[in-house]
């Protein structure tokens, strides 16, 4: 009865030991829970495109959110928190990658001194020669391209290629095994 207080009242389901499924309780609609899990609206923050991972997450979570009795405003609040956490996590990852790059560059500059640019050029040539754009992309995305040991290894390969330009070696490099 709302005539006196202006507030609707209703009885909560009776709690029974081990029964955590109150999904059929009729009071959820009055609290703002959508009729069905697929009725939740998952909003993306401005400037952030919806990804396949987002879609999979929404599809996976909607039944759980519905079963827990969450209203749309509660889902919005949780989504905002998840988004904030994700943005902070991405920012930390970007800062860490920049720090790793700077540390790797400093280490290689210290080791190679005036020959830094030449060694880096040799490493890049070896990557292009043996792996092409796909390898360069993989090294960049994985962070291995910032690992001084990996850069040194490719610089050594590049130096060997520059040293050995014999016909026999060139023919060997052009064999199908290396293509």
Condensed to tens digits (0 to 9), the pLDDT of residues 29-56 reads: 888 899 999 999 998 888 888 899 999 9
| pLDDT over threshold 50, residue 179 | no
Helices assigned H by DSSP within the chain: 28-31, 52-67, 72-112, 116-130, 132-142, 148-163, 167-173
User: Of 127, 114, 177, whose CA–CA distance to 156 is shortest?
Assistant: 127
How high does pLDDT run on average in the chain? 85
135-148 pLDDT, tens digit each: 999 998 898 988 99
Structure confidence at residue 122 (pLDDT): 94
Distant-in-sequence, close-in-space partners of 131: CB < 8 Å, separation ≥ 6: 138, 139
User: Of 59, 49, 52, 56, whose CA–CA distance to 83 is shortest?
Assistant: 49
pLDDT tier at 171 (50, 70, 90 boundaries)? Answer: low
- Maximal C-alpha separation, the chain: 99
Quote the percentage of the chain above a pLDDT of 70. Answer: 87
Distant-in-sequence, close-in-space partners of 44: CB < 8 Å, separation ≥ 6: 50, 54
- Across residues 53-81, what is the average pLDDT? 92
Round to whole Å and give the CA distance between 153 and 107.
14
């Amino acid at each position: 009865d709302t005539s006196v207080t202006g507030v609707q009242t209703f009885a909560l389901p009776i709690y029974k030991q081990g029964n955590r499924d109150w999904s059929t309780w009729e009071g959820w609609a009055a609290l703002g829970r959508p009729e069905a899990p697929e009725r939740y609206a998952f909003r993306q923050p401005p400037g952030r495109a919806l990804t396949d991972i987002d879609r999979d997450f929404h599809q996976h979570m909607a039944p759980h959110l519905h079963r827990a009795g969450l209203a749309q405003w509660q889902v919005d609040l949780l989504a905002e928190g998840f988004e904030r956490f994700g943005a902070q996590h991405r920012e930390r990852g970007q800062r860490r990658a920049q720090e790793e790059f700077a540390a790797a560059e400093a280490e290689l500059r210290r080791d190679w001194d005036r020959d830094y640019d030449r060694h880096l050029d040799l490493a890049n040539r070896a990557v292009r020669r043996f792996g092409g754009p796909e390898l360069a992309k993989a090294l960049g995305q994985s962070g291995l391209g910032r690992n001084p040991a990996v850069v040194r290894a490719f610089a050594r390969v590049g130096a060997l290629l520059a040293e050995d330009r014999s016909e026999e070696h060139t023919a060997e490099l052009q064999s199908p095994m290396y293509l």
